[in-house]
């Protein structure tokens, strides 16, 4: 009704009969024991109490919407605690710069990082996200493939020759 200027305009917006809208305003004024609107033959004007009441109601509705969004997991800005575990070398070299940028962009997030090359019990160690290289062997976990890494073994020829000669001497390699 605020900004509408008349009960007829409010009735159209609310899609309610005019007597219902008028009665609801009167009931609210009776409940609050104060006048919220001054009625003239042409317009409605909010009283000071009416303006204060509308402002307070709008704040309450906004807070309620925010509470509903928070309960549903919706936030305007990410916030809260996030625990992540990463392999040591991969985490330090590749993930850490991404984490730093993420935290700059989302200052309401508190992140705890566990660098570990071992299998981590996510529940016991209260970890939300684990980034691992390799095949997921625990069927109780859910994994999403985010990329591929190709492993390449490199060595100088002299080293490979030494290893081959040592293996042949032990009977581990064919001559």
- Tens digit of pLDDT for each residue in 35-74? 999 887 777 888 999 999 999 999 999 999 988 887 887 7
Domain spans of the chain? Answer: 7-71
Query: Do 45 and 38 contact (CB within 8 A), yes or no?
Result: yes
Give the pLDDT confidence score for residue 112 in this predicted structure: 94
| CATH code of the region 7-71 | 1.10.10.10
Please state the pTM of the whole predicted model: 0.47
Average pLDDT over residues 120-138: 87
Query: pLDDT confidence of 2, banded at 50, 70, 90?
Result: very low
- Angle made by CA atoms 54, 60, 65, in degrees to the nearest 5: 125
Give the pLDDT confidence score for residue 145 in this predicted structure: 85
Query: pLDDT confidence of 132, banded at 50, 70, 90?
Result: confident
Percent of the chain residues past pLDDT 70, beyond the cut: 94
Q: Is the pLDDT of residue 77 over 90?
A: no
- On the CB side of 175, how many CA atoms lie within 13 Å of its CA? 6
């Amino acid at each position: 009704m605020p900004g509408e200027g008349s009960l007829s305009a409010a009735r159209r917006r609310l899609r309610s009969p005019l007597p219902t809208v008028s009665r609801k305003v009167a009931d609210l004024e009776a409940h609050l024991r104060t006048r919220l609107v001054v009625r003239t033959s042409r317009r409605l004007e909010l009283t000071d109490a009416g303006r204060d009441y509308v402002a307070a109601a709008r704040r309450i509705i906004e807070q309620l919407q925010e509470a509903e969004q928070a309960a549903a997991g919706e936030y305007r800005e990410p916030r809260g605690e996030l625990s992540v575990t990463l392999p040591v070398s991969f985490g330090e070299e590749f993930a850490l710069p991404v984490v730093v940028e993420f935290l700059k962009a989302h200052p309401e997030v508190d992140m705890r990082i566990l660098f570990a090359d071992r299998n981590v019990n996510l529940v016991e160690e209260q970890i939300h996200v684990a980034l691992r290289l390799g095949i997921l062997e625990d069927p109780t976990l859910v994994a999403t493939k985010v990329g591929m890494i190709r492993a390449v073994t490199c060595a100088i020829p002299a080293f490979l020759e030494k290893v081959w000669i040592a293996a042949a001497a032990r009977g581990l390699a064919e001559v």
